[in-house]
């Protein structure tokens, strides 16, 4: 699947736009035009849809599986993962012997959904199961020795970490000394040396094949439930206890939510998880998710967008600025009143989070002023008093503004908690791991596109120089430049509900399976008006005489809003996505403007 900025051969420039209003080169997403035409003819699709399929690596042999993703065709044998057999043996023994089990989760959506999934499955199997989510401010990320010691004292015999644990050497060594068995279920980058545990299931272990390395933690947790369910069935557990064997598909809504919100590539098994999980979510069987959808205003069958931008941020708000375990509690409750109460609290916390985020972002942007792509490898902003719960979001916004990897650090009493985000093709997690191995960090780890760390304030300048130097080398090696990937050009008259329906067959969209994006050439901006604080609505009219309603969100954060508002009849090339206009009624479409450039002449 072609991302916008891969380390690949140069792509054709679309409409001659080398530098748009957002500072990006418009590039054609790679794809064999002949294959696109063949796909369109074979599948009876518009040619532009066939070309979009080809640009996503879909061929004639794989098209049917791509357009109709089925779990049974994609699910691997969970025992292919290292230590899965050991994890299953230890957990099954705990279920069989009635031992108390604790799931130790991270406080983000991936952690909350992973913990909720395991609790729901193990409870259905008859286990004595509880969830523990650490407080972000008081305990920090991942398992810690005091918490594990308390769990042991309260009777827990087995703790399962989800979305954390792969780098928790000190905590797991303390647990081993205290006699608490540990199973680690994680997906973050691992070192050659692994912490002590009964089992460590992580597709990103260095001794793994890497075939499943793009799974979110909740995807790994689902594979664990598949293996556990099979072992319990084959061992006669359900028959002996009279318990009905659970249908694991009922929890795919949790898998979809965690997968989307952890921003892992929506390719292969991840895409199947999300496609099937959104169908489960639409049935509103999870009372907590249903209540959250109500407060978030999701009043139609959910798409990946709703999971990632409406539901996920509200669950994250509990871990960021509120009570860390609210998300996991929401996702496991069967009480409608409790679900409504928690959903309301998370909605309020999300509003608080947005206000805190904006204040930190304003300060971070001031610090980063002047940073531009090509002037180094990293943008860093740090200050005392910043809330650690919003620095990841701020790092993402800073990265988008500067087109450079960004690191935002919240300082407190000489220690900094940092969150970093990268640009496509630049492996940030690798450099954070290198910084840790070089002794520059107290702790740290992550993925190619995102990472977290703890650093002493007196090492911050040294860390910045280290990362700046190494990331600049990566940026130069991949030839990174800000770019916007496009699937073709359209005229307004061709932007119909029928075309949109065919494009939506490529969903779910996300990293690795980008939503189709098109250029509208030589468009005139009619009746532009500001909506809210910084959005812009207008009518786009084309040389074909057709017109199309459009909106540009946060247009006035940059040059886009002012340029479109002041177009004065001058033609612009406009880039963006075709979406349904639900407010206008069935069959209505609108164009989401993401970028623009003056049309030559």
Query: pLDDT (tens digit, 9 = 90+) per residue, 509-559?
Result: 998 999 999 999 999 999 999 998 899 999 999 998 999 999 999 999 889
- CATH assignment of the domain containing 100: 3.90.1640.30
Asked, for residue 422, whether it belongs to a domain, the answer is yes
Query: What pLDDT does residue 33 have?
Result: 87
Tell which residue, 45, 60, 50, has the closest CA to residue 29: 50
Query: Residue 7: pLDDT band by 50, 70, 90 thresholds?
Result: very low
Does one domain contain both 284 and 199? yes
Does one domain contain both 488 and 456? no
Does one domain contain both 340 and 282? yes
Does one domain contain both 433 and 302? no
Asked, for residue 41, whether it belongs to a domain, the answer is no
Asked, for residue 16, whether it belongs to a domain, the answer is no
Query: What pLDDT does residue 137 have?
Result: 80
> 252 near 148, Cβ under 8 Å?
no
Query: What pLDDT does residue 583 have?
Result: 86
Query: What pLDDT does residue 6 have?
Result: 41
What's the domain count of the chain? 3
Does one domain contain both 206 and 294? yes
Query: What pLDDT does residue 322 have?
Result: 77
Asked, for residue 361, whether it belongs to a domain, the answer is no
> 506 near 578, Cβ under 8 Å?
no
Asked, for residue 44, whether it belongs to a domain, the answer is no
Going from the C-alpha of 213 to that of each of 18, 196, 252, 310, 386, the distances in angstroms are 35, 21, 19, 27, 33
Query: pLDDT (tens digit, 9 = 90+) per residue, 344-402?
Result: 999 999 999 999 999 999 999 999 885 554 467 999 999 999 999 899 999 999 998 88
On the question of pLDDT at 130 being above 50, the answer is yes
Query: What pLDDT does residue 375 have?
Result: 60
The mean predicted confidence, pLDDT, of the chain is 94
21 against 403, higher pLDDT: 21
Single out the residue in 465, 481, 497 at which a domain terminates: 481
Does one domain contain both 79 and 197? yes
Does one domain contain both 545 and 571? yes
On the question of pLDDT at 10 being above 70, the answer is no
Query: pLDDT (tens digit, 9 = 90+) per residue, 272-322?
Result: 999 999 999 999 999 999 999 999 999 999 999 999 999 999 999 998 887
Query: What pLDDT does residue 15 have?
Result: 95
Query: pLDDT (tens digit, 9 = 90+) per residue, 244-272?
Result: 999 999 999 999 999 999 989 999 999 99
Does one domain contain both 447 and 564? no
- CATH assignment of the domain containing 440: 3.10.310.30
Single out the residue in 440, 456, 481 at which a domain terminates: 481
DSSP 425: T
Q: Which domain holds residue 546?
A: 25-30+484-598
Does one domain contain both 243 and 378? no
| Count of beta carbons in the 10 Å neighbourhood of residue 454 | 16
Asked, for residue 435, whether it belongs to a domain, the answer is yes
Q: Exposure of 549 by Cβ count < 10 A (0-12 exposed, 13-18 middle, 19+ buried)?
A: middle
Tell which residue, 373, 371, 440, 444, has the closest CA to residue 403: 373
Query: What pLDDT does residue 401 have?
Result: 85
Query: What pLDDT does residue 370 have?
Result: 59
Does one domain contain both 264 and 411? no
On the question of pLDDT at 5 being above 60, the answer is no
Query: What pLDDT does residue 249 have?
Result: 98
Sign, CA torsion 35/41/47/48:
negative
Tell me the percentage of the chain whose pLDDT exceeds 90. 86
Does one domain contain both 197 and 131? yes
Does one domain contain both 316 and 392? no
Backbone φ and ψ of 214, nearest 5°: -95, 0
Decide: pTM greater than 0.75: yes
Token pair of 87, please? 């994890």
Asked, for residue 40, whether it belongs to a domain, the answer is no
Asked, for residue 63, whether it belongs to a domain, the answer is no
- CATH assignment of the domain containing 517: 2.40.50.460
> Angle between the 312-321 and 109-124 helix axes, to the nearest 10 degrees?
100
**DSSP notation for 237-293:** HHHHHTPPPP-GGGGHHHHHHHHHHTT---SHHHHHHHHHHHHHHHTT-SHHHHHHH
Single out the residue in 460, 481, 502 at which a domain terminates: 481
For residue 446, say if its preceding peptide bond is cis, omega within 30 degrees of 0: no
């Amino acid at each position: 699947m072609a991302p916008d900025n891969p380390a690949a051969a140069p792509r054709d420039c679309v409409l001659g736009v080398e530098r748009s209003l957002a500072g990006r080169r418009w590039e054609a997403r790679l794809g064999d035009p002949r294959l696109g035409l063949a796909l369109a003819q074979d599948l009876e699709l518009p040619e532009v849809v066939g070309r979009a399929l080809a640009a996503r690596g879909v061929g004639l042999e794989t098209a049917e599986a791509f357009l109709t993703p089925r779990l049974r065709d994609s699910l691997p044998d969970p025992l292919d993962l290292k230590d899965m057999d050991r994890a299953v043996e230890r957990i099954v023994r705990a279920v069989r012997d009635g031992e108390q089990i604790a799931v130790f989760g991270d406080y983000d959506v991936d952690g909350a959904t992973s913990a909720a999934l395991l609790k729901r499955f193990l409870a259905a199997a008859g286990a004595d199961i509880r969830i523990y989510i650490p407080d972000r401010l008081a305990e920090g990320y991942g398992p810690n020795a005091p918490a594990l010691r308390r769990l042991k004292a309260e009777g827990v015999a087995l703790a399962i970490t989800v979305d954390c644990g792969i780098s928790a050497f000190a905590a797991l060594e303390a647990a081993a000394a205290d006699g608490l068995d540990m199973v680690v279920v994680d997906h973050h980058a691992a070192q050659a040396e692994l912490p002590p545990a009964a089992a460590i299931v992580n597709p990103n272990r260095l001794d793994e094949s890497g075939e499943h390395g793009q799974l979110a933690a909740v995807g790994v947790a689902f594979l664990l439930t598949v293996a556990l369910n099979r072992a319990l069935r084959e061992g006669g557990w359900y028959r002996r206890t009279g318990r009905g064997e659970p249908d694991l598909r009922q929890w795919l809504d949790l898998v979809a939510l965690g997968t989307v919100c952890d921003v892992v590539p929506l390719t292969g098994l991840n895409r199947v998880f999300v496609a099937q999980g959104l169908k489960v979510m639409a049935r509103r069987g999870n009372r907590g998710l249903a209540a959250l959808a109500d407060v978030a205003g999701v009043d139609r069958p959910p798409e990946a967008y709703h999971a990632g931008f409406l539901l996920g941020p509200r669950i994250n708000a509990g871990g960021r600025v509120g009570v860390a375990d609210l998300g996991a509690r929401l996702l496991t409750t069967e009480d409608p009143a409790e679900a409504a109460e928690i959903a309301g609290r998370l909605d309020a916390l999300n509003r608080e989070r947005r206000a805190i985020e904006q204040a930190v972002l304003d300060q971070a942007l001031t610090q980063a002023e002047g940073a531009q792509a090509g002037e180094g490898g990293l943008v860093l902003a740090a200050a005392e008093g910043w809330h650690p719960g919003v620095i990841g979001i701020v790092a993402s916004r800073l990265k988008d503004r500067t087109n450079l990897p960004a690191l935002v650090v919240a300082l407190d009493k000489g220690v900094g908690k940092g969150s970093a985000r990268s640009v496509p093709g630049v492996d940030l997690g690798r450099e954070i791991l290198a910084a840790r191995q070089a002794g520059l960090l107290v702790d740290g780890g992550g993925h190619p596109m995102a990472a977290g760390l703890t650093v002493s304030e007196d090492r911050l300048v040294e860390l910045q120089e280290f990362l700046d130097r190494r990331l600049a080398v990566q940026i130069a090696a991949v030839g990174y430049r800000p770019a916007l990937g496009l699937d073709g050009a359209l005229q307004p008259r061709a932007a119909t509900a029928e075309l949109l329906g065919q494009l939506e067959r490529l969903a779910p969209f996300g990293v690795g399976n980008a939503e189709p994006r098109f250029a509208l050439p030589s468009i005139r901006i009619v009746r532009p008006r500001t909506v809210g604080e910084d959005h812009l609505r207008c009518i786009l009219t084309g040389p074909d005489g057709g017109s199309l309603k459009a909106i540009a969100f946060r247009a006035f954060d940059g040059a886009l809003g002012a340029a479109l508002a002041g177009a004065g009849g001058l033609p612009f090339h406009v880039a963006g996505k075709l979406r349904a206009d639900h407010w206008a009624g069935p069959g209505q479409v609108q164009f989401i403007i993401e970028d623009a450039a003056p049309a030559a002449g």
